Chains A and B, each alone.
Chain A
Amino acid sequence: MVGEIIKDTPEKNFQSMWDKFDSHYGLFLVKEIDWNAVYASHLPLAKVAKTEEELFNVLTSALSILHDQHVNIYTTNSKLADYNSGHNGNIPAQETFLFKVVQDNYLIEYHEVNEDFGYGKLTEDIGYIHASSYNDNLSVFKKAMDKAMNALASTEKIVFDIRDHSGGSDNVSKYIAGRFAKSKKLFMTSKKRNGPGHNDFEGMMKWYVEPEGESQYTKPVILLTTSHSISAAETFTFAMRENDNVTHMGETTAGAFSDVIAYQLPNGWLCTIGVGDYRGSDGKSYEGIGIAPHIYSKNLKADVLAGVDKTLEKAIQM
């Protein structure tokens, strides 16, 4: 009644996935990927695939070439589960940070605004903000930041911890970074696919960080990141680093900035596709590279398991 449905065969599933990436993926040119070559090498494999597992192997092999943490496949088969292109497999455990360690062993007070955001104090003079995603509405974060800024206004510095931040809205990133800004500065540009050619992009958008909200915290801020800080955590890092009072410390970020869409394959599996080309204020793409901190510090798994967060200790001492 509403049109023809593509047949669910391994070949059609591969074709459907390849087509969608071909028409929408934003980083073929940045990553210098020959997507037609991927088609030529993988279509014969898809044609002879017989089982879900064989199809999964063909699809994941094709996507591994993108080496992009924003590219995933989620299957409806519990044995196959999911695949992440950036990790060429499942997303590994985060071993260099555990928020519970901070909460149990370092914070003298903590106020959880919601499951993604909270604030407190490490000492009477050092404030602490923890954000693990920016997935809610901007208005939620405006209220949360008002509370945090009021509570931490008298501190001498703030440690802003996004070491387990999984992303969200770039507009939330822009707003929260603006609560620490003295002036307006370009922090990022973005453009997204608007046509079938790999170089078909809509006009470039410029993202500025500028003073936001009723008050701004312009005393020193230490921003903590890890390789699990991804997507909007990284656009937030771009924005925060434009503020003169911010020192970026920890590990290099994940290196996956673009907005992501979901697309369903004929067999019902989902794939996620980064549709944009995001750049820093210097015009460079950090996709697949990540943002290196001003001060590098990486916790050891053994320390974290022992309840010690040496990166945080360094941030406190700075």
Chain B
Amino acid sequence: MKQTKYHLVILLFFAVFYSSYGQNKEPYALKKNQFRVGLGAGYLQTLDLQVSPKSYHGVRKNLQLEYLRKKDKGIFTSNLNVFFGNLTPTSGTSLTFYAKETDIYGAEKDESMTLEIAPLGFNLEIGYLHKLQTLATVRTEFYLGGSLEENLTFTPGFLPIGLINYASLNAKARFDYQLNNGKPLIFQLSLPLVSAVTRFPYHNSPNIPGKSGLGAFFTGNNDIETINHFQNIRFSVRYNWLVTKRIAFDIAYEGSWLHYYKPQHLTQAGSQLSLGLTF
């Protein structure tokens, strides 16, 4: 019975991909429209002085959806990345807290509460990379461009570590290098030029008459920042380790470093691996 289920899944998998080949018969590398689905897991370290002087770390998992349109002069890209994870203190402090309670009958009870710090959010990015023809060689392509990006990281609960929203205009660079085996290695670098950054206000407790928590968060707490004050640098390298004419599997690494100074310093460093399928 189990085997039958697996066979059905495999059949469905091939049916989906072969139906997409039928619509686009160009080889993978030349395809104008490319879709990528990726799954990633990474290590993230966070220090949010607005909430705690302690640094936190944990694994963040994500689902990546990407659409890429190649043209002679450049590449249009759009990405949606949905992520979630857990944070625990880097040093061995417990997140279990205790309280003594007494009821009306005089019975004392030791209550304990274990905090779960579980940030979740999304990242949406739309960009254009222009091909620098003069720098292109048989093996290399070089692109420069920019992107518009929206990112929300929400940490529900008592300790909202790492909570931030930003909308950025990024500068981006991409370098494609074709290896001897004919497979491309893709390097990318991104950094924000101007960003609208939203954090909790100084008092860390947005609460406005008649407004929801989300509405209060976005009211009066938005600051336009340049890279002097908001840094979010990301570097990635992607290797397509299995390329057929029509699909490619890839493995990608991304390193990131984010820092914002208001109302108190938030610093994050991340390192992530992901696997993707492009078709």
Contact = CB atoms under 8 A, between A and B. Distances in A.
Interface of A: 1-3, 5-6, 8, 16, 24, 26, 74-78, 80-82, 90-95, 98, 138, 169-171, 174, 190, 192-195, 202, 205-208, 259-270, 275-276, 301, 304-305
A89 to B, nearest CB: 9
Given A76-B96, A194-B203, A2 B158 contact: no
A275 B263 CA distance: 15
B91 A5 contact: yes
Nearest to A272: B158
B97 A192 contact: no
Contacts of B268: 2
Given A259-B207, A305-B104, 8 more contacts: A2-B46, A90-B101, A93-B104, A171-B209, A174-B209, A205-B209, A207-B209, A268-B54
A170 to B, nearest CB: 6
B93 A268 contact: yes
Contacts of B203: 24, 26, 192-194, 202, 259, 261, 275-276
Contacts of B269: 1-2
B102 A275 contact: no
A268 B51 CA distance: 11
Interface in B48-96: 51-55, 89-91, 93-96
Interface residues on B, range: 35 or more
Contacts of A205: 208-209
Contact of B265 (A3, A138, A170, A268): A3
Contacts of A262: 51, 158-159
Which DSSP category, helix, strand, loop or mixed, fits chain B's interface? loop
A77 B210 CA distance: 40
B210 A171 contact: yes
A90 B110 CA distance: 11
8 contacts: A2-B46, A5-B91, A90-B101, A171-B209, A194-B201, A205-B208, A262-B159, A264-B53
Contacts of B23: none
A93 B205 contact: no
A190 B209 CA distance: 10
A98 B46 contact: no
Contacts of A80: 98
Given A81-B110, A305-B104, A264 B51 contact: yes
Contact of B53 (A98, A194, A207, A266): A266
Contacts of A75: 97-98
A266 B51 CA distance: 11
Contacts of A95: 104
Contacts of B137: none
Contacts of B55: 2-3, 5
A195 B103 CA distance: 40
Given A78-B98, A261-B205, A138 B212 contact: yes
B99 interface: yes
B99 A74 contact: yes
B207 A93 contact: no
Given A3-B265, A264-B53, A275-B203, A301 B104 contact: yes
B201 A5 contact: no
